[in-house]
Chains A and B, each alone.
Chain A
Amino acid sequence: MSSKWENIQKRSFLESEARTRALGLVDPGTFTELAGPRHRISSPHLPLLGEAVEFDDGIVTGVGLIGKKPVFVASQEGRFIGGAVGEVHGAKLANIVRMARKAYDEMLASNPDLPEEKRPAVIISFDTGGVRLHEANAGLLAHAEVMDQFQDCKGKVPIIALIGSRVGCFGGMGFVAAASDVIIMSQFGRLGLTGPEVIEEEMGKDEFDASDRALVYRTTGGRHKYIMGDCNVLVADSIAAFRGALQEVLGKLYAEIAEMSCIGSLEKIQYQLKLVDLCVETAPKDAKDVWKSAGNENPDDLTDMPLDEFLTTVKRLTDRY
């Protein structure tokens, strides 16, 4: 078991399936899957449409430990219908967050002095295009439920988003990720609301060419989101790197983690609006124009330089303003 876990650490996060990510992010041997394949809770809707089903409906949920901290994990599988959120998938996601908050309430009720290092946290490894159109009503409802659960967690349980899988994090799940406390990404991660193909379809190829992946990444990718301040930590593409960043964040006090969030108070919202105004003022034609206004003299160099170099040279919008 331990050697398998060690093996997983070296693996590319981008290449790893949902279960591998879930296993590798928590301490060795501590992951217990809940509502997993054994329980065979697959979508009741897909068979009616003649669409393939999966025993876990495309999401792995469970609990594990990072140090002394119980972590409630959700990990989406982008290879199953693009990681889309259907009824079961959504219910599993909402419930794992609810369980974390309930665990917090119960633990604190029985021991109000429970040290922070033992208090629960939620981690979500996103790999999704948002709602599953085949079961859209249930999927949308699930989005709302997850958001409700996020609200209930405020002041109690930190929620950490990890984005570095193939599909990225788009659609309604983009909102959900944005409502988390901390976002950890790799350069291969993408975060946005409307997916590139949809923008192209709505606005035309001249406005946004979805086949131009360089363009897609420099408007939604990890490097861009890091410059913009939407992503808190940018890491290398390995399970170990994501886990390392996760350990560091979870090592902080709740108040410190909540401070890293982009939203959650009037001041934070006003700051966000100010950043938007600043971006609008520069009238950017391309993401690189914004990078420049953040203080990067040669924005062209930022896309291709090795990650380490990027992290030491880049100027972030949030540093400047």
Chain B
Amino acid sequence: MKTKKKWDTRKTDYLERMSGAEPYINNGKVVAAEDTINVLEAVIRLFDRVNIEGNNQKQANFLAEALIKCDTQRIHDLYMVQSAVPLPVHLDMFEVGIAKKLDFAYGGPMGGRVAEAIKNGKLELGAIHTYLELFARYFIDLTPRVSLICAYEGDADGNLYTGFNTEDTPAIVEATKFSQGIVIAQVNKLVDKVTRVDIPGEWVDMVIESPKPFFLEPLFTRDPANITDTQVLMAMMAIKGIYGEYGVKRLNHGIGFNTAAIELILPTYGEELGLKGKICTEFALNPHPTMIPAIESGWVESIHSFGGELGMQKYCEARGDVFFLGPDGTMRSNRAFSQTAGHYACDMFIGGTLQIDKYGNSSTATATRVAGFGGAPNMGCDAKGRRHPSDAWLKCGAEFTSQSEYLGPMPRGKRLVVQMLESFGEKMVPGFVDELDAWQLAKNANLALPPVMIYADDLTHILTEEGIAFMHKCRNLEERMAAIRGVAGFTEVGLAAKSTETKALRDKGIIKTPEDLGIDRQRANRSLLAAKSVRELVDWSDGLYDPPARFRNW
């Protein structure tokens, strides 16, 4: 039976909230910075789902600082749905009671406080997501009622220029606005005409010029000075034993020194192996400064980026054949699209981790920090919806021994998912463990699941200083565990390896050591790096790269 029901309650609610903000809106959609708290108090209601834009890079920190100053009698118990909570203010919000629930993807430096807040009952955690997963839920069951976003420029009509650091903004705004929600933007500069319309003015309700530019974290900048000889060895093994072996052209690199080392020996070691043009031609990747030498040496045809990277803007603009530039000549990143690209269009993910258990599950979670994984799991899994072939994908699929258990003789490709890990980290912390700390964290923070970054069934290769374990070539769990032991060095896990067993796996090509790969360990030192310092990156870029102050050593 058809029920009598109002079908425009969202719109009515929207208009009612906006009328409260009306007195503070002037000259189109402009709100003065000093009225920020007033408009937030006018449009936000108890228990609202609210998004404060922010990820592992840019942050709408001015609006976050304003929200926490709102009257807690009027606004409390908000349900925060947002990519990340890396700033102290994000957690203060829970301490003072403005916010109660959280669904997010990345805690970064606040991981410890998230765990604490859960434990002392200040924060109810929905779940830890990947970026793409969280964006997906914005359109299904976690649609924000109010979103507080940030942009470089805004005009009186609400048009925004998010430029280089567009990142999450389109996904948030679309989900919010098209469900009659409210979008408030902090902008670094109010202008008459924005450089480029990244977000149309109709989709934005208020524009506030913030006293200070939004916060940006140069998360993807790795100083080549800190790359170790062991990392160079592992990078050589990756290039020769995996990139070259499979002819990996389309890929994503994780954050960290392991992949930075790979990027920096492409123009030296990679070139020497004759792999230029055969590997690493297209990336879903942030503008890593350590990519500059490879780009300048003509290795790379295309890079689409999740976000910007502090100091790389001018360089990217000057390399329009590689990066995605708008008609205005500046780059646009887009996290949702780049994550999708990384998931479906890349043949490989390679990145570092902190722990791998004896079964091959890996995680960066520690017992006391709910840090989340950002986008890594979207990259570090087999895209089950993928149907288009490529050489690397087909080769890996053909080697996937247990695939026929499910598919019979039906051929199917497999994405390469590679985890790099030294058997021991600093201060003798073992990388290979019996049980991931994630289990303890799940207990400590009442999580339904131990947070796993990459599950063993997605992982195809483990690369340590000892060698590469080709996990997907193994017949069963028992063989996979033996392969892990065989590359786990002198950790407890590795010490359990039997030399006969490891030898048999080497004969089968399931384990390959540097010697098996024909890699001369003596050459594994920093002299192989195309740039050994940030200064040399600047020189490679012809002065276009403008590194943040903290990375300057001249």
Contacts and interface: CB of A to CB of B under 8 A. Distances in A.
Q: Is A–B contact present in the complex under a CB 8 A cutoff?
A: yes
B553 A188 contact: yes
Interface size class of B (residues with CB under 8 A): 10 to 19
Interface stretch (B56-64, B77-85, B461-469, B533-541): B533-541
B539 A211 contact: no
A212 B554 contact: no
Contact of A212 (B526, B538, B543, B550): B550
Interface in A193-213: 211-213
Interface string B333-360: 0000000000000000000000000000
B549 A212 contact: yes
Q: Is the interface of A mostly helix, strand, loop or mixed?
A: loop
Interface stretch (A11-19, A52-60, A256-264): A11-19
A253 interface: no
Contacts of A223: 554
A296 interface: no
B539 A188 contact: no
B551 interface: yes
Interface string B524-538: 001100001101001
Contact of A306 (B532, B539, B552): B539
A217 interface: yes
B532 A15 contact: yes
B527 A213 contact: no
Contact of A15 (B526, B535, B543, B546): B526
Interface in A180-233: 187-188, 211-215, 217, 221-223
A211 B218 CA distance: 14
A221 B543 contact: no
Contacts of A188: 533, 535, 553-554
Name the residue in A211, A212, A214, A217 with the highest tally of chain B Cβ atoms < 10 Å from its Cβ.
A214
Interface string A14-57: 11000000000000000000000000000000000000000000
B552 A14 contact: no
Interface residues of A, number: 19
A106 to B, nearest CB: 42
Contacts of A221: 554
B227 to A, nearest CB: 11
Given A11-B527, A222-B554, A306-B539, A215 B549 contact: yes
A221 B552 CA distance: 11
Interface in B500-554: 526-527, 532-533, 535, 538-539, 543, 546, 549-554
Name the residue in B533, B543, B552 with the highest tally of chain A Cβ atoms < 10 Å from its Cβ.
B552
Contacts of A114: none
The 3 closest A-B pairs by CB, nearest first: A214-B549, A214-B552, A187-B554
Interface of B: 526-527, 532-533, 535, 538-539, 543, 546, 549-554
Given A15-B526, A213-B552, A217-B552, 17 more contacts: A11-B527, A14-B532, A14-B533, A15-B532, A187-B535, A188-B554, A212-B549, A213-B550, A214-B549, A214-B550, A215-B549, A217-B553, A217-B554, A221-B554, A222-B554, A304-B546, A306-B543
16 contacts: A11-B527, A12-B532, A14-B532, A188-B533, A188-B553, A188-B554, A213-B553, A214-B550, A217-B553, A217-B554, A222-B554, A223-B554, A304-B543, A304-B546, A306-B539, A306-B543
